[in-house]
Amino acid sequence: MIALLQRVSQARVEIGGQTVGAIGAGLLMLVCAEPEDTPAVAAKLVDKVLKLRIFADEQGRMNRSVQDTGGGLLIVSQFTLAADTRGGNRPSFTAAAPPAQGEALYETVLRLARERHPQVACGRFGADMQVHLVNDGPVTIPLRMTA
Q: What is the pLDDT of residue 40?
A: 98
CATH T-level assignment (fold) for domain 2-144 = D-tyrosyl-trna(Tyr) Deacylase; Chain: A; (3.50.80)
Q: What is the pLDDT of residue 147?
A: 85
What are the residue numbers of the active site? 78-80
Domain ranges of the chain: 2-144
Q: What is the pLDDT of residue 24?
A: 98
| Phi, psi angle pair for 122, to nearest 5° | -155, 165
DSSP track, 48-105: HHHH---EE-TTSSEEE-HHHHT-EEEEEE-GGGG-B-SSSSS-B-TTSPPHHHHHHH
Q: Does residue 126 sit in helix, strand or coil?
A: coil
Q: What is the pLDDT of residue 89?
A: 94
What is the value of pTM for the model shown?
0.96
User: pLDDT 10s digit of each residue in the chain, 147 long?
Assistant: 999 999 999 999 999 999 999 999 999 999 999 999 999 999 999 999 999 999 999 999 999 999 999 999 999 999 999 999 998 999 999 999 999 999 999 999 999 999 999 999 999 999 999 999 999 999 999 999 998
* Stretch (H or E) spanning 41: helix 39-51
